[in-house]
Each structure stands twice: as C-alpha cells, then as structure tokens.
Amino acid sequence: DAGITQSPRHKVTETGTPVTLRCHQTENHRYMYWYRQDPGHGLRLIHYSYGVKDTDKGEVSDGYSVSRSKTEDFLLTLESATSSQTSVYFCAISEPRREGTDTQYFGPGTRLTVL
C-alpha cells in the first residue's frame, strides 16, 4: 500500500446520492486504475488513466465517471449511486513498459455500501 492512499476507507450512502472516491499517489506513476471487487467476480476494471486528463473506459464503466487533473490524484464518481454499486473499490498505479503492462501497486481499498 506504500505511496497510495484511498479516501474514504468506508462509506455508507443512500440510493440516488452522488459519491466521489479519491485515490492519491506519491510515486509519480503515470498510469492509474480504478477496480471494483465483488464475490465471484475477482477484480474488474472500471476506468483507467494514462496521464493527466487522459482517461478511458474499462470493462464495467457504466454509472461511473473519472477525472484526473493532477498526476497524483484520480477521482472516481458515482453520479447517482445504486445498490448494485455496493462493492470494494481499489485504486492501482503502474508505469508503462515497452512490452505490455508492468506491475500494478494497489491501494488499501474503499468499502462502499449503497442502501
């Protein structure tokens, strides 16, 4: 978890409310990722960023948006939270390699419950 923090670590919210999760890194890594982890599904990529203001969708991006205005911060927003978005959310960082992706380093996770 070194160099990567996520806030909040736990959040309970109600259906229909907006929620923003923050990932902050001190490693100056170029790539940042948001995943969700659910029982039986492993980790699934929501969105990722390959630089400031450069983002792209992952496998399960519907209902989520992201922003990256600084190298160190990557925000994940649920515009109108639904119960299906109850999950544990992980942020990860990596540096690009010439041959495929490099090791990813993960934050401690945010447990989100949508009632």
Partner 1 sequence: SQQGEEDPQALSIQEGENATMNCSYKTSINNLQWYRQNSGRGLVHLILIRSNEREKHSGRLRVTLDTSKKSSSLLITASRAADTASYFCATDRNTDKLIFGTGTRLQVFP
Q: Which lies closer to partner 1 via its Cβ, residue 81 or residue 92? A: 92
Q: How far is the CB of 54 from partner 1 (least distance, A)?
A: 11
Q: Which lies closer to partner 1 via its Cβ, residue 18 or residue 108? A: 108
Q: From CA 69, how far away is CA 44, in angstroms rounded?
A: 24
Q: Under a CB-based contact definition with an 8 Å cutoff, are residues 28 and 71 in contact?
A: yes
Beta strands in 4-109 (DSSP E): 4-7, 10-13, 19-25, 31-38, 42-51, 54-57, 64-70, 73-78, 87-94, 105-106
Q: Which lies closer to partner 1 via its Cβ, residue 40 or residue 62? A: 40
Q: Which lies closer to partner 1 via its Cβ, residue 48 or residue 72? A: 48
Residues in a beta bridge with 49: 32, 55
Q: How far is the CB of 47 from partner 1 (least distance, A)?
A: 11
What is the maximum span of the chain, computed from C-alpha positions, in angstroms? Answer: 44
Q: How far is the CB of 43 from partner 1 (least distance, A)?
A: 4
Tokens describing residue 42: 């492993």
> Which residues of this chain interact with partner 1, rule CB under 8 A?
1, 4, 31, 33, 35, 40-45, 48, 50, 58-59, 90, 92, 94, 96, 99-101, 103-109
Q: How far is the CB of 42 from partner 1 (least distance, A)?
A: 4
